[in-house]
């Protein structure tokens, strides 16, 4: 009880501190008021107009040719082009955590559920899993044009695998092939980075022509890398699910 009171007091002090300082003006200015952001004084302005290396003017959909990063989705152009090295680190963190889960929960046999899956679940999964898989693939192929990308698409693929797991007591993924897919996709990401190093002088340089903004075959290596990321994340999370549903013995 005493602990809760102290914790509540601590939270109250923290809340008052944040309330007093969040929008403070002048010397220690932290954040602008909600909605009053001036993008022209931020670095994002260069990412939106795609002119981090020099003036490019205004970018127009389906008209601008050979822009610096030809992806219509600006978040994608930051994640996979301007800050691609960051994404490589992110994929590595996900890989390390999947490796940790695999090391700690390396059971041989499949965990059995206490209640067997019923008929509606089994029949429903058969209809819906294919649609989920195709939507996942669509999302990571169109990551540079529409909302989404490699990470959401990969998670959707993993969710289809999870549905297979809960609808079938005997289902087990072929873990070896998923490991192979994951390793290949990760290495291809690195290889494309090194190709950029040899061709353009920078690691993960966008060495392919970027094309017209807004078309499917545009943005150079961005969609290719997002496909690798999608495959890697999908197989990694599927492995994670299969690790969680395994148990020791027999």
Task: List the beta strands (DSSP E) in 144-190.
Answer: none
Q: Rounded to the nearest whole angstrom, what is the least distance from the CB of residue 25 to other proteins in the complex?
A: 16
Q: Rounded to the nearest whole angstrom, what is the least distance from the CB of residue 236 to other proteins in the complex?
A: 9
Considering only residues 62 through 81, tell me which ones interact with other proteins, judged by CB under 8 A.
Answer: 62, 72-75, 78-79
- How far apart are alpha carbons 79 and 225 in whole angstroms? 11
Q: Rounded to the nearest whole angstrom, what is the least distance from the CB of residue 172 to other proteins in the complex?
A: 19
Q: Rounded to the nearest whole angstrom, what is the least distance from the CB of residue 66 to other proteins in the complex?
A: 15
Is 94 one of the binding residues for other proteins (CB under 8 A)?
yes
Select from 21, 24, 66, 97 the one that contacts other proteins (CB under 8 A).
Answer: 97
Is 19 one of the binding residues for other proteins (CB under 8 A)?
yes
Is 52 one of the binding residues for other proteins (CB under 8 A)?
no
Select from 139, 240, 242, 245 the one that contacts other proteins (CB under 8 A).
Answer: 240
Considering only residues 117 through 156, tell me which ones interact with other proteins, judged by CB under 8 A.
Answer: 145-147, 149, 151
Q: How many residues bind other proteins (CB under 8 A)?
A: 63
Select from 21, 24, 29, 61 the one that contacts other proteins (CB under 8 A).
Answer: 61
- How far apart are alpha carbons 137 and 39 in whole angstroms? 33
C-alpha torsion 214→216→222→224, nearest 10: 180
**In the structure encoding, which two tokens stand for residue 20, read together?**
């007093």
Select from 26, 28, 34, 249 the one that contacts other proteins (CB under 8 A).
Answer: 34
- How far apart are alpha carbons 146 and 117 in whole angstroms? 36
Considering only residues 193 through 222, tell me which ones interact with other proteins, judged by CB under 8 A.
Answer: 213-214
Whether 207 contacts 73, CB under 8 Å: no
Q: Rounded to the nearest whole angstrom, what is the least distance from the CB of residue 74 to other proteins in the complex?
A: 4
- Window 98-117: contact mask with other proteins (x via CB under 8 A): x-xx--xx------------
- Residue in the structure block whose two tokens are 């549903």: 245
Q: What angle do CA 101, 107, 113 make, to 5 degrees?
A: 100
Distance (Å) of CA 241 to CA 12, 80, 139, 170, 171: 39, 26, 21, 14, 12
* Collapsed DSSP state (helix, strand, coil) of residue 109: strand
- How far apart are alpha carbons 146 and 234 in whole angstroms? 19
Q: Rounded to the nearest whole angstrom, what is the least distance from the CB of residue 214 to other proteins in the complex?
A: 6
Q: Rounded to the nearest whole angstrom, what is the least distance from the CB of residue 134 to other proteins in the complex?
A: 22
Is 35 one of the binding residues for other proteins (CB under 8 A)?
yes
- How far apart are alpha carbons 92 and 206 in whole angstroms? 21
Query: CB-based contacts of 19: which residues, under 8 Å, 6+ apart?
Result: none
Is 226 one of the binding residues for other proteins (CB under 8 A)?
no
């Amino acid at each position: 009880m005493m602990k809760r009171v102290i914790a509540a007091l601590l939270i109250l002090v923290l809340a008052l501190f944040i309330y007093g300082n969040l929008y403070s003006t002048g010397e220690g200015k932290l954040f602008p008021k909600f909605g009053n952001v001036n993008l022209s004084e931020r670095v994002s302005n260069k990412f939106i107009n795609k002119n981090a290396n020099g003036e490019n003017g205004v970018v127009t959909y389906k008209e601008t040719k050979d822009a610096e990063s030809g992806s219509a989705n600006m978040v994608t152009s930051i994640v996979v082009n301007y800050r691609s090295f960051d994404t490589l680190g992110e994929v590595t963190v996900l890989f390390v955590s999947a490796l940790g889960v695999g090391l700690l929960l390396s059971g041989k046999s499949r965990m059995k559920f206490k209640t067997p899956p019923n008929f509606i679940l089994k029949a429903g999964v058969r209809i819906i899993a294919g649609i989920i898989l195709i939507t996942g693939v669509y999302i990571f192929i169109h990551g540079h044009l529409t909302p989404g990308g490699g990470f959401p698409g990969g998670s959707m693929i993993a969710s289809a695998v999870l549905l297979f797991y809960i609808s079938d007591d005997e289902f087990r993924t072929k873990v070896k092939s998923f490991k192979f897919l994951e390793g290949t996709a990760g290495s291809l990401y690195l290889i494309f980075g090194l190709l950029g190093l040899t061709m353009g002088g920078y690691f993960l340089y966008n060495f392919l022509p970027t094309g017209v903004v807004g078309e499917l075959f545009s943005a150079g290596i961005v969609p290719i890398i997002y496909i690798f990321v999608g495959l890697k994340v999908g197989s990694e999370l599927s492995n994670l699910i299969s690790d969680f549903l395994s148990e020791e013995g027999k």
